[in-house]
Structure 1
Amino acid sequence: MVLPGGRYGAHAPLLSYAADAAEARGARIRYVHWDPPYDPERVPPESTESWVVNQVPAVPGRPLLVGKSLGTHAAGLAADRSLPAVWLTPLLTVDPVLEGLRRASAPVLLVGGTADRFWDGRLARELSPHVLEVDGADHGMYVPGRLAASAAVLGRVATAVEDFLDEVVWPGTATALA
């Protein structure tokens, strides 16, 4: 299940590559699209978690959640259902997200950058043994300099997701990207 950011769509590169990695391992991908689109003027901070969770459809089994930024407000849902998750640029400075991550019993991969004001690498490493921290990356996982450097970060994130899925979530699952 792919949960986008507030201004980062479900098919944008970070989420798309994570979804591709899961799909290559046999997962059926479901994309959440915020409806209506998220508007912080309309959804007060204390209601954001419930606004996000109410848009996540119920699915049978134990799905993998993949979320970015706003989508990480589903961390409490993941904890309640013991769901594994990939959280890209999680909002570690937002209490409901942090509380959900603290309650997680299933494995989670946390991905963030040192130039992201919502990221705290030390805290991330306390919350999970599965962390990718990119020096200088901002909330969009862009790094200073030429775009190729940011594209390389995308590659690092994709590899971290694949490793997490292969070694932690679905060990032994064959992969075959077509």
Structure 2
Amino acid sequence: MTEVKFNARAFSKIILHAVKYPHCAVNGVLLAKGHAVSNKEIEFVDAVPLFHMSINLTPMAEIALMQIDEFASTRGLVIAGYYAANENYKDNSFDKAYHRIADKIAANFTPSFLVVINNMKLSNEPDASVLRVAQMADGNLKVCDEQNIRLSPVEQTQQIISNLLQQNAYNDLVDFDNHLDDISLDWMNVKLNKEIGFV
């Protein structure tokens, strides 16, 4: 089974997106280094938050994916995953999170992954157990064992997200919904990336 790693930037932005909108379903895409992806290991190095109001708006999603793909390709990255947090606090299933965006990613990149945030495990000091991961292959989901999901590096990533949560850094996170409401807001989250620091 593939080992799935999340660096501080990817993990922090996933968690901050879910924390910023605890009353909403949220989603986004995950970026990995194109040359470093294999069937044995993948490391997500960035996350791009998409939506919190209308996660099923296909035209907006297509625009977002085109912009993200262009952004990623200039940095040697690929869209290799999709993440979501369900609106229902107790729902951490893949069923409701599974979305056309995930299908599109799987059609364009293999292996690709679906990540669901376990809202019940969100805390001030989240660790990798807050993420449920499934590998998408041939239209099927294969759930990854929890021991194959890790932060990279573990202690530093946990310290960074803990500090960001204490500083309420989720207020600085911009998703595509925010950007579409006010195009001066930076969906690439350059300011937040600097706060996260370590890549």
**What TM-score results when the alignment is normalised by the length of structure 1?**
0.31
Which structure has greater strand proportion?
2
> Higher relative contact order at CA 8 Å, sep ≥6: structure 1 or structure 2?
2
**What TM-score results when the alignment is normalised by the length of structure 2?**
0.29
